[in-house]
A = this chain, B = another copy of it.
Amino acid sequence: MEYNSFNQIDLPNLTVTEPNPSHALAFRRYASHAVARWHRAQVAAIRPHSDAPISHNFMGRVTDFDHFDLSEDLEIATWDSYPMGFLEDRVPADTPHKQLFMRQGDPDFQAFHHDLYRAVGRGRWWVAEQQPGPVNWAPSNPAPMPGMVRLWTWEAFAHGAEAVCYFRWRQAPFAQEQHHAGLLRPDSVDAPGLIEARQVARELAKYPDVETAQSPVALIFDYTSQWAAEIQPQGEGYDYFALVFHIYRMLRRLGQSVDILPPTAQALDGYSAVFVPGLLTIPETLRTALATCEGQVVTGPRTDLKTPELTTKVPLGPDLPGLDVTVTRVETFRPDVTLSLAGGGAVQFWLEDCETSADVLMRFGQQPVFMRSGARWHIAGWPDAVAARRMVTQVLEAAGLPVLDLPEGVRVRQAGAGRIWFNYANEQKDFGEISLPPAGVHWDAP
Contact = CB atoms under 8 A, between A and B. Distances in A.
A329 B232 contact: no
A267 interface: no
A18 to B, nearest CB: 6
Contact of A176 (B17, B98, B99, B142): B17
Interface residues of A, number: 56
A186 interface: yes
Given A189-B328, A237-B140, A333 B102 contact: yes
Contacts of A20: 175-176
- Is the contact region of chain A dominated by helix, strand, or loop, or is it mixed? loop
Interface string A308-345: 00011111100000000000111111111100000000
Q: Which of A140, A235, A336 has the most CB of B within 10 A?
A: A140
Given A22-B175, A191-B329, 17 more contacts: A1-B175, A20-B175, A21-B176, A88-B334, A99-B336, A102-B334, A139-B235, A140-B235, A140-B335, A140-B337, A143-B331, A143-B353, A171-B312, A172-B312, A173-B311, A174-B312, A179-B330
A282 interface: no
Given A99-B334, A174-B312, A232 B179 contact: yes
A315 B353 contact: no
A10 interface: no
Contacts of A336: 95, 99
Contacts of A328: 185, 189
A187 interface: yes
A147 to B, nearest CB: 15
12 contacts: A21-B176, A22-B175, A99-B334, A133-B329, A139-B334, A142-B331, A143-B329, A171-B312, A174-B312, A178-B232, A179-B232, A187-B314
A141 interface: yes
B235 A314 contact: no
B332 A140 contact: yes
Interface in A87-144: 88, 95, 98-99, 102, 133-134, 136, 139-143
A236 B140 CA distance: 6
A369 to B, nearest CB: 14
Interface string A152-184: 000000000000000000011111101101000
Nearest to A353: B143
A234 interface: yes
B333 A140 contact: yes
Interface string A21-41: 110000000000000000000
A176 B329 CA distance: 16
A237 B335 CA distance: 25
Nearest to A142: B331
Interface string A45-61: 00000000000000000
A141 B316 contact: no
Nearest to A367: B143
Given A102-B334, A179-B232, A311-B173, A329 B134 contact: yes
Interface string A398-436: 000000000000000000000000000000000000000
A229 to B, nearest CB: 12
B140 A179 contact: no
A333 B22 contact: no
Nearest to A189: B328
Contacts of A314: 173, 186-187
Nearest to A334: B140
A92 to B, nearest CB: 16
Contacts of A173: 311-314
A88 B133 CA distance: 38
Contacts of A191: 329
B22 A236 contact: no
B22 A174 contact: yes
B311 A141 contact: no
